[in-house]
Amino acid sequence: MSIKPEKTTIFFTGATGYVGGSVLQRILQHPEANTFDITALVRDAGKALLLETKFGVRAVIGSMEEFDKLSQLAENAHIVVQCAEADRDDVMNAILGGLKKRHEKTGDLPILIHTSGAGIIADNARGEYMSDFVLSDLDSEAIEQFTPPAVHRSVDILVCKADAEGYARTYIVLPTAIFGFGKGPLYDAGISKRSPALISVFAAAAVERGRPGIIGAGKNAWSVIHVADNADLTYLLFCAALTGNSELGHGREGYYLTENGEVTMYEYFKELGMALVERGLVMEAEPTMFTPDEYVKYFGGDAIADLFLSNIRGRGDRGRRDLGWTPKHPREDIWKEVPEVVGGVAKKAKGSA
C-alpha cells in the first residue's frame, strides 16, 4: 500500500499580479505540485473562483492591509512566497509575526521567499552618467551598506532579521527592471496582469505629448530581466528551499538578484520613439526631457522620477552559481515587446478619437 505524501502548505501573495502570476505558474508546474496545498490572498472574487476551479489553488478574499488575516495565513504555511508588496514594513511584520507563531507553536522552521527589488542600489546620477559601480549579489557586506530610505531596504532588513533570529529561513529576490509579456495559463485565464506596466506608461505619455519623453540626459543604465527569467530564478529557489538544502545561502547571504544585461535610459526611450513613429502615433522619435509638471502627471511625483534618473546596475551571480540559473532572454528582447505595447496604445488612441 502506497503512503500518500503529506501536503506542503504554501501561502502565496501576488497571484493576480504581473510578476507574481509568472512565479505561481512555475510552482504549479512542479512535478510534485499535487502534494502542495496552496492558498493565495486575492482581492477579486471572480479571479479567486478561477484560481480554485481551474488551478486548484485555495483563494482567500482579502487585501494586504488586513494584517490579522495575513498573519494567520502565514502561520498556517510552511512556505510563504511573497510577490505583492516590497515597501511596507507593516505588511512584512504581519507575515513575519505569523511565521514566528508557527515556529514557536510547532517547531517548524518556515520558509519565506520575498520579492523585493534592485532599486536599493539606485544612485544620484540625475541621468548624467553611467556609474562604474555594479553590485554583485554575492557581496553581502556591500548590500548591507544600503540603509533606509533606500528603496525596499527597510523591508529587506526585517526579512534578514527574522532569519538571524532563527524562526524562519528567508530568501530575497531582487529583480532589476522587468520586461516582457506574461504568458501561460494564469494570464490566458485573465487572472494575472499580462502587460509590463512601465513601458505602457511611457508609450501613452509619448503619444499624449507628441514624442517620447526622457528623464534627465538618459546616460544612466539599468540592468534588465525578462519576467519569465525572474520567475525561473524564484522557482529554482523555491525548489532548493523545499528540499531543505542547508548549503543554500539565506538571510544576509540570501540575496538573489535577477538580471541579464542592461540598457541606458536614452536607448530605451529612443527605441520606443522609433516604434511610435512607425505607427504614426508621434512625429519625432528623438526623446526630449519631461518637465517637472510631467513628472507629476505621468509618474505621480518626484520620488518615482528620481528612480529613473539613477543607475541600477547589478549582477545575479548567486543564482547562476548556486542554483544553475540560466536566463534565456537577452537584453535585446526588450525591444521585441515594443510593437505590441505600441499596438495597444494605438488601439486606445483610436478608440478615444
Does 173 or 305 have the greater pLDDT score? 173
Q: What is the mean pLDDT of residues 51-69?
A: 97
The answer on pLDDT for 161 being more than 80 is yes
Q: Indicate if 207 and 155 belong to the same structural domain.
A: no
In the prediction, which pLDDT does 294 show?
A: 85
Question: What number is the average pLDDT over the span 272-289?
Answer: 90
Q: Kindly indicate the confidence band of residue 352, based on its pLDDT and cuts at 50, 70 and 90.
A: low
Q: What does the pLDDT read at residue 184?
A: 96
In a domain, 208, yes or no: yes
112-132 pLDDT, tens per residue? 999 999 999 999 898 899 999
**Predicted pLDDT at 98:** 98
> 173 and 269 share a domain?
no
Does residue 95 belong to any structural domain of this protein?
A: yes
Please tell me the distance from the alpha carbon of residue 198 to that of residue 26, in angstroms, as a whole number: 23
Domain assignment present for residue 59? The answer is yes
C-alpha cell of residue 164: 538571524
Q: Does residue 294 share a domain with residue 155?
A: no
Q: Are residues 328 and 290 in the same domain?
A: yes
Average pLDDT score over residue span 228-244: 95
Which position has the higher pLDDT, 25 or 278?
A: 25
Per-residue confidence at 279, pLDDT binned at 50, 70, 90?
A: confident
Query: 102 and 201: one domain?
Result: no
pLDDT digits (tens, 9 = 90+) for 241-264: 999 877 899 999 999 999 999 999
H or E segment and range at residue 242: helix 227-242
Q: The domain spanning residue 142 has which CATH number?
A: 3.40.50.720
Domain's final residue, options 258, 281, 309: 258
Structural domain includes residue 162:
yes
Residue 130 lies in a domain: no
Q: What's residue 248's pLDDT?
A: 94
Q: Are residues 150 and 217 in the same domain?
A: no
Q: Is the pLDDT of residue 74 over 90?
A: yes
Res. 303: pLDDT tops 70:
no
Average pLDDT, the chain: 91
Q: What is the mean pLDDT of residues 56-63?
A: 97
**Are residues 281 and 293 both part of a single domain?**
yes
Same domain membership, residue 74 and residue 121: yes
Residue 4 has pLDDT above 60, yes or no: no
Other Cβ atoms within 10 Å of 326 Cβ, number? 12
> Average pLDDT for residues 53-63, to the nearest whole number?
97
Full residue range of the structural domain in which residue 278 is found:
197-221+262-343
Residues 209 and 319 in one domain: yes
Share of the chain above pLDDT 70, in %: 95
- Per-residue pLDDT, 295: 76
In a domain, 1, yes or no: no
Angstrom distances, CA of residue 16 to CA of 193, 230, 247, 326 = 6, 16, 32, 26
Quick one: average pLDDT of 267-284? Answer: 89
Residue 323 included in any domain: yes
Q: Which residues pair with 40 in a beta bridge?
A: 12, 59
Mean pLDDT, range 320-343, rounded to an integer: 89
In a domain, 350, yes or no: no
160, 214: one domain = no
Instruction: Say whether 255 sits in a helix, a strand or coil.
Output: strand
Listed residues 212, 243, 258: the one ending a domain: 258
> Best-predicted range by mean pLDDT among 33-42, 203-212, 214-223?
33-42
H or E stretch at 179: strand 177-179
What's the Cα-to-Cα distance from 175 to each of 95, 228, 244, 305, rounded to whole Å?
21, 11, 24, 19
Same domain, 212 and 187: no
pLDDT surpassing 80 at residue 28: yes
- Element (DSSP H or E) covering residue 351: helix 338-352
What's residue 5's pLDDT? Answer: 53
Is the pLDDT at 150 greater than 70, yes or no? yes
| 88/147 same-domain check | yes
Contacts of 282 (CB under 8 A, 6+ apart): 206, 207, 210, 211, 212, 273, 276
Provide the number of structural domains found in the chain. Answer: 2
349 pLDDT band, cuts 50/70/90, is low
Q: Give residue 3's pLDDT.
A: 43
